[in-house]
Amino acid sequence: MKFDAMKKLVVLTGAGMSAESGLRTFRDMGGLWEEHDVYEVASPGGWHRDRALVLRFYNERRKQLLETTPNKGHFGLVELEREFEVSIVTQNVDDLHERAGSSCILHLHGELRKSRSTEDPELVYDIEGWKLEEGDLCEKGSQLRPHVVWFGEAVPAIEEAAKIVSAADIFVIIGTSMNVYPAAGLINYVPPTAPIYVIDPNEVAIAGHSRIRVIRKNAGEGVQLLMEEIRNE
Ligand code: APR
């Protein structure tokens, strides 16, 4: 009896994945970077200048996250695990893929519901509730910071992500403007034989890739359409 191994479906997600859960994206109209100066709230310099402001920004994000739930798109990716070996590489710091039930998730830009020691990056903790405040310390006595990757910082998970992407049979991009590197560069690791799908209601500028199949929809509806299309791959 021949055993057909499941195909590897690798999905790169961004803020648009969680938009239908009510979380704002960054660069759309009304996006977070319209209202907040990214270098003040999401960079090492900003942290140095005003820790309280940075903590407040992420506390607000965390509070909203606790009030929301995964959407149809997140659940659709879980359903795809019945037919594919699904790996999710997400730029999102929310935990909606986890809460939907996906089994293989790599967070490129960290996790909102975790904190990290400013002295020892190995010390990572779960945050109870939504508040991380000045004076919250790691076990070595140093201030805790949000466990997120800020602008100007390295992305430690990028090598593992590149490895996952280079094993893809099918690659899917959902809800990211592909503006931020090194995440956006992951597309260059997709094997030449793998089709690339893009689910986004707006045009995403991905230059030089002729294999792209665009599903110009929101994540929820787009993942449903994707399911129909890739069953025949
Ligand atoms: N469904 C799918 N896509 C959507 C939806 C939706 N309902 N609504 C908006 N989008 C799309 C937008 O058209 C856009 O292409 O989601 C994308 C969001 O892009 P960005 O706001 O740039 O978010 P993202 O690409 O995830 O940002 C990358 O930048 O500042 C950071 O660290 C942060 O991880 C983030 C990184």
Q: How many A from CA of 146 to the centre of ligand 1? A: 20
Residue 209: count other Cβ atoms within 10 Å of its Cβ: 11
Q: How many A from CA of 16 to the centre of ligand 1? A: 4
How far the first Cα of the chain sits from its last, in Å, is 22
Using the atom order of ligand 1, give the atom closest to the CA of residue 20.
Answer: 7
DSSP 134: T
pLDDT at position 207 is: 64
Give the range among 1-10, 38-47, 70-79, 209-218 with minimum mean pLDDT: 1-10
Q: How many A from CA of 96 to the centre of ligand 1? A: 15
Q: Quote the Cα angle for 4-214-190, to 5°.
A: 50
Task: Please state the domain extents for the chain.
Answer: 7-22+70-109+155-231, 24-67+113-148
H/E element holding 110?
strand 110-117
Is the CB of 76 inside a 6 Å radius of any atom of ligand 1? no
Q: Within 13 Å and on the Cβ side, how many CA atoms surround 214?
A: 10
Exactly one of 74, 97, 107, 109 is catalytic; which is it?
109
Percent of the chain with pLDDT over 70: 97
Percent of the chain with pLDDT over 90: 90
Using the atom order of ligand 1, give the atom closest to the CA of residue 13.
Answer: 26
Q: What is the mean pLDDT of residues 224-232?
A: 91
pLDDT at position 3 is: 55
Model confidence at 162, pLDDT cuts 50, 70, 90, reads: very high
| Domain at 24-67+113-148: CATH architecture | 2-Layer Sandwich (3.30)
Is the CB of 219 inside a 6 Å radius of any atom of ligand 1? yes
How confident is the prediction for the chain on average, in pLDDT?
95
- Ligand 1 mutation target, pool 28, 97, 178, 181, most atoms within 8 A of CB: 28
CA 200, distance to chain mean position in Å, is: 15
Q: How many A from CA of 127 to the centre of ligand 1? A: 25
Model confidence at 1, pLDDT cuts 50, 70, 90, reads: very low
pLDDT at position 193 is: 93
pLDDT digits (tens, 9 = 90+) for 39-77: 999 999 999 999 999 999 999 999 999 999 999 999 999
Q: How many A from CA of 125 to the centre of ligand 1? A: 27
pLDDT digits (tens, 9 = 90+) for 122-146: 999 999 999 999 999 999 999 999 9
74 catalytic per annotation: no
Using CA positions, which residue lies closest to atom 13 of ligand 1? 202
Nearest to 132 by CA among 69, 51, 67, 33: 51
Q: What is the DSSP string of 143-208?
A: BEEEEEPPTTS--TTHHHHHHHHTT-SEEEEES--S-STTGGGGGGGS-TTS-EEEE-SS----TT
- Ligand 1 mutation target, pool 20, 25, 40, most atoms within 8 A of CB: 25
Nearest to 55 by CA among 118, 3, 139, 122: 118
CATH (one of 1.10.3720.10, 3.40.250.10, 3.40.50.1220, 3.40.830.10) for 7-22+70-109+155-231: 3.40.50.1220
Using the atom order of ligand 1, give the atom closest to the CA of residue 220.
Answer: 1
